[in-house]
Amino acid sequence: DAMVIQNPRYQVTQFGKPVTLSCSQTLNHNVMYWYQQKSSQAPKLLFHYYDKDFNNEADTPDNFQSRRPNTSFCFLDIRSPGLGDAAMYLCATSRDPGGSTDTQYFGPGTRLTVL
């Protein structure tokens, strides 16, 4: 089945220790997104890639970076995690950002704990 896969499902890191979260998709979608969802809050878009074009949200901290080496994979790098970065990180994909009927499909998420 075509899907969005995130690894690992649970990640524990130490304060200030860089961490990378992984997302892959078999949908062959052009767009990949990263959202941050803190406890009992709505998902918040961090950035997205349209093919190789990176689009950062204005209020995304510089501590968060992303890489998309190919269509299938996208990584979220947190350079120096703080306690406030503990959250669920959701990856999503969509076919075409300008399409009128475009729907985002989400992976299961990675829950990040910062000690």
Partner 1 sequence: AQSVAQPEDQVNVAEGNPLTVKCTYSVSGNPYLFWYVQYPNRGLQFLLKYITGDNLVKGSYGFEAEFNKSQTSFHLKKPSALVSDSALYFCAVRAIQTGANNLFFGTGTRLTVIP
Written as six digits, the tokens of 65 are 């970076």
Q: Is 94 in the site for partner 1 (CB under 8 A)?
A: yes
Between 19 and 92, whose beta carbon lies closer to partner 1? 92
Between 2 and 80, whose beta carbon lies closer to partner 1? 2
| DSSP secondary structure letters along 14-58 | -TT--EEEEEEESS--SEEEEEEE-TTS--EEEEEEETTEEEE-T
Label residue 105 left, alpha or beta by phi (over 0 means left) and psi (-120 to 50 means alpha). Answer: beta
DSSP lists the bridge partners of residue 56 as: 47
For the bound state, the minimum distance from the C-beta of residue 80 to partner 1, rounded and expressed in Å, comes to 26
Q: What is the contact mask toward partner 1 in residues 23 to 62, using x (rule: CB under 8 A)?
A: --------x-x------xxxxxx--x--------x-----
Q: Is 11 in the site for partner 1 (CB under 8 A)?
A: no
Q: Is 22 in the site for partner 1 (CB under 8 A)?
A: no
Largest CA distance in the chain: 43
Q: Is 90 in the site for partner 1 (CB under 8 A)?
A: yes
Radius of gyration in angstroms for the set of CA atoms belonging to the chain, rounded to a whole number: 13
Contact footprint for partner 1 (CB under 8 A): 4, 6, 9, 31, 33, 40-45, 48, 57, 90-92, 94, 97-98, 100-109, 111
